[in-house]
Structure 1
């Protein structure tokens, strides 16, 4: 049942983590407002929920965001842009979110990632940021902005840092083709190396962690937690599990690093991916002892079940496309 005291404004609700968080909130009958650029797309994703309000607009529009923020107790910052559009856009929208949260001193939920730390083996909440890439520097700046706003009393911030997302409606080019390939018996792609351990998080699990954190009274204006998700022995082995669940033979396809460097000479998108190559060439792990102590009853969805749920979601999308 809903708490009746929360009012959530979700930004980026048609994206991977925003979608999962919105579904979690709706299951608990929470009042949710989604600011979306494409209302029709959102309606297809969420169907009819009495507790869901869809508003069409852009989070770059500061005045609209302030109007919605004035009604919210929590603002979920799920806004993301393609790599090549991060510069300026991510900072501007984060500043807008801070200003919107300041009206009602709302809590901002921020999905952190591992980019601010460069190449390190293990990341804890005490690991200092040392970005080695442009996008790492941008992410570090966003966190700095949020930390400063919280310290000034404008809002509270909960930064839940996570590894690579996967799950229903995770449609990025790193993850979606793996599940599409498994369903159709086509090659399942990956970048750089598929034979080393890799940390991933199932988005419904991350969404549940956010909701549990929302129910706690934060002690500090800015709180950071890592959520480690699950470490698969290798992407190749994980893909084989997915193919087996889909009833197909696993076919692996690996894109080597030199290809992105070469294509980066002509394509800004490929240049951006090449810069982040260390993420797929190495195993970088988040330590989530702090979150486990805070939420001792937090459970992960069993891998087999999570794979089946994700395949089912992609199967549904595929069937809709075939019918239309």
Structure 2
């Protein structure tokens, strides 16, 4: 049985990916700082390790075939991102493990390319974008040196899956109970989204094909390219009534950003909500076959159910 270690297994991404690998029959070692796991990962082996402790991380990943890097720092402080990436590379190299990781659209900077392919040049214009680009350069160097094989799957903003902390729950659906849809930007602007259960299944499919791939592989996950008007219409079909449309008060965040680190971090990436972009791939389907893709209404219903804003039964009926 293939063994995979999931780093950041209690985070939104790691949790969804760990669940998908368990369902696919992999032996899952779920690594968190304290070793505690959510209930849906009860069949995984829980291990405690801090990704900033290189020796401990190497020990925690000993004996696995694959390491999934789902580490996610606090959004307002990314000083630990590159040190953690270097430690993950050290752990993969020490244990001969394949590295799987999710990429972002931060790397492309502003103005955003309207269509992002696997060959689109990366021109980061923010600190977070530069850090993400440096991460990928590190992974590529390790692969080219024959030390660590990496598969990177780039995705848009997450929705769906257990946990909170995305634009979908923090803004868009935050006032759904009051009958309000909150748009983070212009309502007719196309934005790249990834339904987490689909993205997680795509990682499983890539892991299944890992022996057929090169030392460094980068793919795009097309996901859902949507406007806020399309998401709002989907929500209305699901809840069965019209929603009022509200706009995110960016002026409040901009005014408070000098005093609130989190607001400053969000404002620095505001261009993503005001510049249209979508992810396309010419390679993913050819590699894994049919790309996991849940229809929009079913995905939105699942995401609302995961947030407790819609009963699971209602979600199934709406889908």
Question: Superposed, which structure 2 residues align to 1:93-112 within 5 Å?
Answer: 93-112=84-103
Could you tell me which residue of structure 1 aligns to residue 30 of structure 2? 34
Question: 1:101-124 CA deviation, whole Å, 9 max, x = no partner?
Answer: 001221111100111111222221
- Partner Cα separation in structure 1 for residue 125 and residue 288 of structure 2: 32
Q: Who is 2:73 aligned against?
A: 81
Matched, 1:63 2:59: no
Structure 2 runs not aligned, ≥5 long: 313-319
Name the residue aligned to 1:322: none
Unaligned runs of 5+ in 1: 320-324
Cα distance in 2 between the residues matched to 1:229 and 1:56 = 32
C-alpha distance in 2 between matches for 1:170 and 1:282: 27
What is residue 315 of structure 2 aligned with on the other side? none
The alpha carbon displacement at 1:237 in A equals: 3.0
Q: Helix, strand or coil for the counterpart of 2:246?
A: strand
In the alignment, the residues of structure 2 paired with residue 116 and residue 82 of structure 1 have an alpha-carbon distance, to the nearest angstrom, of 18
Larger mean Cα displacement after TM superposition, 185-194 or 115-124: 185-194
Pairwise CA RMSD: 2.1
Determine which of 217, 224, 240 is the counterpart of 1:223. 217
Contact 1:69/1:103, CA 8 A, preserved across alignment: no
Give the deviation of 1:47 after TM superposition. 5.3
Counting only pairs closer than 5 Å after superposition, residues 125-164 of structure 1 correspond to structure 2 as 125-164=118-157
Moved >4 Å (runs of 4+): 316-319
Residue of structure 1 in register with 2:16 after alignment? 20
TM-score (norm 2): 0.90
Q: CA deviation at 1:249?
A: 3.7
Give TM-score, length-normalised by structure 1: 0.88
- The answer to whether 1:53 aligns with 2:45 is yes
Residues 236 and 252 of structure 1 are in contact (CA less than 8 Å); yes or no, is this contact kept in structure 2? no
- Per-residue CA deviations over 1:113-136 (Å, capped at 9, x if unaligned) read 111111222221112211000100
| Correspondence 1:1-324 to 2 at 5 A | 4=1, 6-40=2-36, 42-44=37-39, 46=40, 48-49=42-43, 52-87=44-79, 89-118=80-109, 119-177=112-170, 178-182=172-176, 184-216=177-209, 217-232=211-226, 234-315=227-308
Structure 2 CA distance for partners of 1:134 and 1:21, relative to 1, 3 Å:
same
Aligned partners of 1:12, 1:248: CA distance in 2, in Å? 38
How far the C-alpha of 1:191 sits from its partner, in A, is: 2.1
Alignment size in residue pairs = 308
Query: SS state of the match for residue 83, structure 1?
Result: coil
CA gap of 1:12–1:188, structure 2 versus 1, over 3 A, is: farther
Please list the CA deviations of residues 174-216 of structure 1 after superposition, one character each: whole Å capped at 9, or x if unmatched.
Answer: 111434533x234333323233122211111111111111111
Contact residue 7 and residue 31 of structure 1 kept, 8 A? yes
